[in-house]
């Protein structure tokens, strides 16, 4: 088997050396990209929850004119125009300016944030391209490689570059964790935080500044175009696994770090594979797996939960239909109306025969109903108790809708049917207290437990 210019044995040997960090350059690049992934995963969670993930895209594009302008200034002053710390400083200033312009537009005009992002992204990026064109025409300008800020240049990362990225990432992670409580408060309830005296505007600006910091240090690794993935994909993937903020931050950081590790490894193993693109694709793979198999919001889990809920609703509706049939004909007269029972069940919900049989068999398996030798279905004592509870909840909600929600009587049954399956014990207790208090007596049929007796 051949892969590029390597056969299978060469690829395997290189894979082992990369995964064990046997090469010096691999260790340098791996350290820088993993630290970037960690920082992006931690900060990206709060951007995602505040619905500001695309701000990183605008900041990344806004950083380009800062890089180009710094290059021009250093050329004119006779300095080293390709000094990475100075170029990143220029990108930082330009990125902060772009972020400030977005916030200014959204707070002083009626334009929405997406419109402001589009304006700043396109204008700043266009200005950066203009400056790059000027640099290309400057006499003696060593502009080769400057365009790599657009696409990233991970493979050429030096030890000093990796140390700079790692140090900045540690500072960003440390500040985020130090202010974790404050960020959590204003992320989920900004009005309460402001009313309680917290500096919400300062915290918001600080969070945006941390996002700008991640964006700037990521220019060396993945470039302007793909930097948004570092801040968006890891927290989006982690969101499918948990609803707890602390665990969400941890998982997001791990996805960011693992995606960077795998992407860098793939780039080191395969010839001419751009590391930035490989990192983004690796993180995209984590997102795809999370989307499908996430334990909290994954599609498969959602499908299982939805089917489970549909089966539960079918069983409860069948119990209510059987209970109301017993109310109408009496438990002792069901046998004489066994054909009417099937007609009643078919007409009650317009069930398909297959769904009706599956629901009844499920109830039989649970011991809620039994099929008598005379050919009709009968509620067991436990089934009658459960059916009475379901029927009572339905009628309680019907009365509430009639008395307090001003729902037309023709639509009450449909409205009650949509909510009765999720009524908790606390809500039922509140309804029982609320309705009599306002002069709405509960009918005797609302207390059906034990009220049905075998009739001769």
* pLDDT for the residue 113: 80
Instruction: Say if 262 falls within a structural domain.
Output: no
Given 173, 200, 231, the domain boundary residue is 231
Residue 90 resides in a domain: yes
- In a shared domain, residues 226 and 125: yes
Is residue 258 a part of any domain in this protein?
A: no
* Domain span holding position 20: 2-231
Helix (H, G, I), strand (E, B) or coil at 2: strand
Cα–chain center distance at 1: 40
pTM for the predicted model, two decimal places: 0.76
- Residues across the chain: 456
Q: Please indicate, yes or no, whether residues 42 and 149 belong to a single structural domain of this protein.
A: yes
CB atoms within 10 A of CB 281: 17
Asked if residue 296 belongs to a domain, the reply is: no
User: Is 249 part of a structural domain of the chain?
Assistant: no
* 12 and 145 both lie in a single domain: yes
The more confident residue out of 249 and 364 is 249
> 58-75: per-residue pLDDT in tens?
887 888 888 888 888 888
Structural domains of the chain, count: 2
What per-residue confidence (pLDDT) applies to 235?
Answer: 94
Residues 6+ apart with CB under 8 A from 11: 3, 269
pLDDT confidence band for 456 (50 / 70 / 90): very low
Of the ranges 140-144, 321-325, 362-366, which one carries the lowest mean pLDDT score?
140-144
pLDDT of residue 233: 93
| H or E stretch at 326 | helix 299-329
**Burial zone of 110 (CB within 10 Å; 0-12 exposed, 13-18 middle, 19+ buried):** exposed
What's the pLDDT tens digit per position in 190-220? 888 888 788 888 888 888 889 888 888 887 7
Both 220 and 308 in a single domain? Answer: no
- The CATH number for 359's domain is 1.10.10.10
Among 199, 216, 231, the domain boundary falls at 231
Q: Which of 231, 266, 290 is the last residue of a domain?
A: 231
What are the φ/ψ torsions at residue 7 (nearest 5 degrees)?
A: -90, 180
Q: Are the beta carbons of 327 and 341 closer than 8 angstroms?
A: no
Same domain, residue pair 37 and 123: yes
Q: What is the CATH number of the domain that holds 199?
A: 1.10.3470.10
Do both 334 and 424 map to the same domain?
yes
Q: How far apart are CA 295 and CA 272, in angstroms?
A: 37
pLDDT greater than 60 at residue 142: no
DSSP string for residues in 266-303: HHHHSTT--HHHHHHHHHHHHHHHHHHH-TTT-HHHHH
Question: Dihedral sign, CA of 148, 154, 156, 157?
Answer: positive
Q: Examine residue 240 and state whether it is found in any structural domain, yes or no.
A: no
Asked if residue 28 belongs to a domain, the reply is: yes
Distance CA(380)–CA(70), nearest Å, equals: 82
pLDDT over threshold 70, residue 225? yes
For residue 45, name the pLDDT band (cuts at 50, 70, 90). Answer: very high
């Amino acid at each position: 088997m051949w892969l590029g210019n390597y056969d299978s044995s060469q690829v395997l040997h290189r894979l082992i050396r990369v995964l064990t960090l046997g090469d010096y350059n691999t260790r340098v690049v791996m350290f820088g990209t993993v630290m970037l992934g960690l920082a992006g995963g931690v900060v990206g969670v709060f951007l995602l929850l505040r619905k500001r993930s695309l701000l990183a895209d605008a900041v990344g594009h806004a950083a380009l004119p800062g890089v180009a302008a710094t290059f021009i200034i250093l050329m004119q002053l006779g300095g080293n125009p390709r000094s990475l710390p100075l170029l990143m400083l220029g990108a930082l200033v330009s990125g902060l300016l772009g972020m400030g312009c977005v916030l200014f537009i959204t707070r002083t005009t009626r334009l929405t944030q997406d419109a402001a992002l589009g304006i700043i992204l396109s204008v700043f990026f266009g200005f950066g391209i203009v400056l790059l064109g000027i640099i290309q025409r400057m006499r003696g300008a060593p502009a080769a490689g400057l365009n790599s800020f657009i696409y990233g240049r991970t493979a050429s990362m030096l030890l000093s570059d990796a140390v700079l990225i790692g140090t900045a990432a540690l500072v960003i992670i440390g500040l985020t964790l130090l202010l974790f409580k404050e960020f959590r408060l204003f992320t989920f309830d900004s009005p309460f935080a402001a009313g309680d005296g917290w500096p919400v505007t300062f915290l918001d600006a600080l969070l945006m500044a941390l996002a700008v910091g991640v964006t700037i240090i990521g220019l060396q690794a993945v470039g302007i175009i793909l930097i948004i993935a570092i801040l968006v994909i890891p927290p989006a993937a982690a969101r499918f696994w948990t609803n707890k903020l602390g665990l969400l931050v941890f998982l997001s950081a791990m996805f960011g770090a693992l995606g960077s590790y795998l992407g860098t490894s793939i780039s080191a193993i395969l010839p001419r594979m751009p590391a930035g693109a490989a990192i983004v694709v690796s993180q995209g793979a984590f997102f795809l797996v999370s989307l499908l198999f996430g334990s909290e919001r994954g599609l498969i889990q959602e499908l299982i939960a939805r089917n489970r809920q549909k089966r539960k609703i079918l069983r409860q509706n069948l119990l209510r239909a059987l209970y109301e049939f017993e109310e109408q004909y009496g438990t002792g007269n069901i046998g004489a109306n066994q054909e009417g029972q099937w007609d009643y069940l078919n007409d009650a919900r317009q069930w398909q025969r297959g769904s009706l049989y599956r629901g009844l068999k499920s109830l039989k398996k649970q011991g809620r109903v039994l099929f008598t030798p005379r050919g009709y279905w009968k509620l067991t004592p436990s089934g009658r108790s459960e059916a009475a509870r379901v029927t009572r909840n339905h009628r309680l909600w019907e009365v509430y809708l009639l008395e307090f929600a001003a729902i037309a009587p023709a639509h009450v049954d449909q409205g009650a049917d949509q909510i009765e399956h999720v009524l908790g014990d606390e809500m039922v207790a509140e309804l029982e207290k609320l309705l009599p208090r306002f002069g709405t007596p509960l009918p005797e049929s609302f207390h059906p437990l034990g009220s049905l007796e075998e009739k001769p």
